[in-house]
C-alpha cells in the first residue's frame, strides 16, 4: 500500500482508526457496493477514517464508483465538508484492467 505516495509497511488498526460509516452499510446490504478482498478470507470495509483522511475500498467498476460518488455527495451535503479532488488519488489492484481503471477514475474525477 502507498501512503503519501510511498510504500508503507503493514497497517495495524489501533486507537483512532475506525472502519465503516453510516452510509455504506445500507448500500452494502442492497448489494450496490462491496468490500475489498485483500487476502484469502480478509476483507476491508468500504471506508476507513483517520483524522482528516478517508480511504474508500470498493470493486473497481463504474457502478460502484458512482455509488461512492453518490454517498460522498450525501456526506458533503450533511457535513458541509467537501472532498478536495486536487489532493485525492486512486490506486487499483494490478488485476484491474485499464478500461475499468479509466471508467472509475473518470467517474470520481481523480487520476
The alpha-helical segments, DSSP class H, found in the chain are 24-29, 62-79, 98-108
The domain in which residue 46 lies consists of 2-108
Residues 34, 38, 39, 41: is their CA dihedral positive or negative? negative
What's the pTM? Answer: 0.65
What total number of domains does the chain contain? 1
CB atoms within 10 A of CB 17: 13
Which residue from 22, 28, 106 is spatially nearest to 67, judged by alpha carbons? Answer: 28
Residue found under cell 460522498? 72
Per-residue pLDDT of the chain (111 residues; tens, 9 = 90+): 677 778 877 766 555 444 455 455 666 677 777 667 666 766 665 566 656 777 778 888 999 899 888 888 887 888 888 888 788 889 898 889 999 999 999 999 986
Amino acid at each position: 500500500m502507498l501512503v503519501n505516495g510511498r510504500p508503507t509497511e503493514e497497517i495495524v488498526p489501533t486507537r483512532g482508526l475506525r472502519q465503516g460509516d453510516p452510509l455504506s452499510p445500507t448500500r452494502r446490504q442492497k448489494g450496490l457496493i462491496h468490500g475489498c478482498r485483500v487476502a484469502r478470507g480478509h476483507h476491508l470495509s468500504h471506508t476507513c477514517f483517520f483524522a482528516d483522511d478517508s480511504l474508500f475500498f470498493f470493486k473497481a467498476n463504474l457502478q460502484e464508483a458512482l455509488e461512492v460518488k453518490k454517498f460522498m455527495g450525501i456526506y458533503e451535503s450533511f457535513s458541509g465538508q467537501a472532498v478536495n479532488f486536487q489532493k485525492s488519488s486512486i490506486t487499483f489492484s494490478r488485476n484491474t484492467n485499464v478500461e475499468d481503471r479509466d471508467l472509475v477514475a473518470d467517474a470520481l474525477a481523480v487520476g
